[in-house]
Amino acid sequence: MMSTRGWRRVKVVEILLIILPVLIGVAYLTLAERKILGAIQRRRGPNVVGLYGLLIPLADGLKLLRKEAIVPASANPALFQRAPVITFSLALVGWAVMPLSDGRVYADVPRGMRFSLAVGSLGVYGVLLAGWASNSKYSFMGGLRSSAQMVSYEVSRGFIRVSVLLCAGTLNLSAVVKAQASVWYIVPLFPLFLMFAVTARAETNRHPFDLPEDESVLVSGFNTEYSAMGFALFFLGEYANMILMSSRMTVLFRGGWLSPRSRMGLGARDRIPGVVWFAMKVTLFLIGFVWARAAYPRYRYDQLMRLGWKVFLPRSMGGVVMTSGRLMARNGLPA
């Protein structure tokens, strides 16, 4: 039998095999975003450091690492320094139950969807603590906006997940993917998928829902007083959440690691590994995040709240009723 020390080493290696690709993906997602925005706006993107600018993420990280971390005199030092760590840590914890391919998941727990929802709900605390602990009116307003925004859209996302749960009949994320072998849920639940994609942008404070960082009103929002690695952790946490949210959409609606050939019973003959299919689908969603930043103007705050409570909430609840009704009509009433 494996000793306790050996078992711990294996677990550490498994964690690193998940976290390191995520961190590398976060670093180069920032570069890809700047490149895509440059192409959309018909200008040159970053291309100076390294071949085609490939070393720019490393240069940016080294610059932030060497800068002095400044704590405002009126701030609460303990909470001020812990808030970025909380935000970044929660962005990584969510990967514990994310199935990257068949059998490739760190914790294949029976209630993975519930764990994912709980971790996503905790993400607001880091931003709220940062805004309060900075003792700045701009930071405090950014934190309040983020908490109200996340609460408003978290309810709708929860109802959308209930619809997926009804179709799959399980809370296990790997089982949800396998239940889409015949048809991906994006087809029968397309309106709910569109709402989930929009709420994902609101949850990650991305354009056009980046009201907590509205530079025209709040300077920089909840991270106004942060510099050096504190700012870097918030920055990395935002992009890590983008990748995590895109992965959740892939698992819930796009068949996870399943290829299009799997619907025709040809998945066993597919030469492309499942994790590659998963990465390709996630990349498409990430391009959508970047494209929205270049294509849409920022919402007003009242428009943001009205969209969440008066449009998405009733429609997501109606989606649960319609999904359950269709399933009962197809399968018959339970005994």
Where exactly are the structural domains of the chain? 73-331
* 5 band by pLDDT with thresholds 50, 70 and 90: low
CB atoms within 10 A of CB 206: 20
Position 265 pLDDT exceeds 80: no
Q: Which two tokens stand for residue 103?
A: 């059998």
d(CA 308, CA 157): 10
* 335 band by pLDDT with thresholds 50, 70 and 90: very low
Where b means 16+ CB within 10 Å and e means fewer, 263-292 reads eeeebeeeeeebeebbbebbbebbeebbeb
* 315 band by pLDDT with thresholds 50, 70 and 90: very high
Q: CA–CA distance from 80 to each of 122, 140, 245, 282 (Å)?
A: 17, 12, 26, 33
Per-residue model confidence (pLDDT) at position 153:
86
d(CA 335, CA 329): 14
Instruction: Give per-residue pLDDT as tens, 47-65.
Output: 788 777 788 888 888 888 8
* 190 band by pLDDT with thresholds 50, 70 and 90: very high
| Segment 6-15 mean pLDDT | 73
**What DSSP assignment string belongs to 20-86?**
HHHHHHHHHHHHHHHHHHHHHTTS--S-SSSGGGTTHHHHHHHHHHHSPP---TTS-HHHHHHHHHH
The lowest-confidence range among 163-167, 265-269, 275-279 is: 265-269
d(CA 134, CA 61): 23
User: What mean pLDDT is reported for the chain?
Assistant: 83
Per-residue model confidence (pLDDT) at position 59:
86
Do the Cβ atoms of 100 and 278 come closer than 8 Å? yes
Query: How many residues belong to the chain?
Result: 335
Give the single-character DSSP code of 224. T
Give the single-character DSSP code of 75. S
Position 250 pLDDT exceeds 90: yes
Instruction: Give per-residue pLDDT as tens, 203-227.
Output: 888 888 877 676 666 666 777 888 7
| Segment 97-118 mean pLDDT | 83
Residue whose C-alpha is closest to residue 211's, from 302, 318, 132: 302
SS3 72: coil
Instruction: Give per-residue pLDDT as tens, 290-304.
Output: 888 888 888 888 888
The lowest-confidence range among 121-135, 202-216, 227-241, 310-324 is: 202-216
d(CA 205, CA 236): 13
* 196 band by pLDDT with thresholds 50, 70 and 90: very high
Per-residue model confidence (pLDDT) at position 215:
65
Conformational region of residue 170, where left means phi above 0, alpha means psi within -120 to 50, and beta covers everything else = beta
| Segment 241-258 mean pLDDT | 90
Do the Cβ atoms of 300 and 294 come closer than 8 Å? no
